[in-house]
Amino acid sequence: MKAIIPTGGRGTRMQPLTFSLNKHFIPIGGKPLIFYPVETVIAAGIKEIGVTYNPGYLEEAQSILGDGSRWGVKITYILQEKPIGLANIVQVCEEFLAGESFVFHLGDNIFVDGIKEAVDYFEEKKPNGLVTMLHHSENKRMGVPYFDDSGRLTKYVEKPENPPHDFAVPGLYFGDSNFFKCFKGTEAIVPSARGEYEIPAAFQWMIDQGMRVDVVEYKGKWLDPGKFDDWMEANQFMLEREVTEDKIECEVGSDTTIENNAHIGKNCIIENTQIKGPVVIGDNVMIKDSFIGPFTAISSDSKVEGARIENSILMNEVLIKNYPDQIDSSLIGPGSEIINTEKQSKKVSFFIGAKSKIIV
């Protein structure tokens, strides 16, 4: 089995940050979002991963993921010419799969407790297709599975008005080589009203052709950080889960205190600062005369001086200077600067794109 992980799409719900950045490469819990699905499929035993990308994003994807050698796997990059649907993402991977079955893991979903159980089910039971489902209070904005009296999947509907239950389909799908038949012949699936080849249409085609499409319930924790608030909640959750002990790879000044666990990278300068975890700090970061509070992740090559920061994500090369009265619940794009020249007392929240500059 091989894995498919997409990095395309428009990321409209994370604008303005995604005007200049790919959503999949924005950090959560101190590492790019895309790392979570990559590490999840690897933990399930998969060694070959196809990463799809849209035009203009290959170099960025390669710079972040590389060839897979950091994880001991092989990553192949596959162009999706236009972002025209999830089923099309699988379609463009047909040559990469070379007849093998696949797991399709969305690049912006986090299956916190792993997917090994679903992988094992697919490999042991050998259905033609498999979709996962989970309980979700807002399933009418997602794909919803429908069953007959015996519990067998009969249809898979995207965003139904009146779902018959609270199950929804998250971003984890499986298929064998029969999946690609839905794109061929006189009965091939066609784009939806929004111009996309929808993934439910592909599985519905398989069901209608008498193929076996199963459903398994995912009982673990699932995160879908599509909007700003969801992103910050996911960041909190992953920091609390992953930062359970100190991991400090540089010298920290004796005038600095660290409480409740922190991961601090290499070549950092940290002086006269209070750090209260869980906190992740990348490489080559300078922090002076500051308070870095819980649920904060600071990416590499950033500088923080005279600031108080809590529950925030700072991307690469951010500069924050003389802001001691609390930056909270913020996502600050790479290369941005926040400088306070008036020493005003306030609590603020920022959501700003790359290379922004704020001076107050």
| Rounded alpha-carbon distances, angstroms, from residue 55 to 262, 293, 329 | 38, 39, 33
pTM above 0.75, yes or no: yes
pLDDT class of 213 with cuts at 50, 70, 90 = very high
CA-wise closest residue to 327 among 213, 232, 211: 232
pLDDT digits (tens, 9 = 90+) for 313-352: 999 999 999 887 788 999 998 998 888 877 665 677 777 6
359 or 354, which is more confident:
354
User: Tokens 């979700």 appear where?
Assistant: 136
Residue ranges and CATH numbers for the domains of the chain are: 2-238 (3.90.550.10), 247-359 (2.160.10.20)
Q: Residue 241 above 90 pLDDT?
A: yes
Q: Are 291 and 273 in contact (CB under 8 A)?
A: yes
Highest mean pLDDT among 119-133, 312-326, 345-359: 119-133
Q: How confident is the model at residue 355 (pLDDT cuts 50, 70, 90)?
A: low
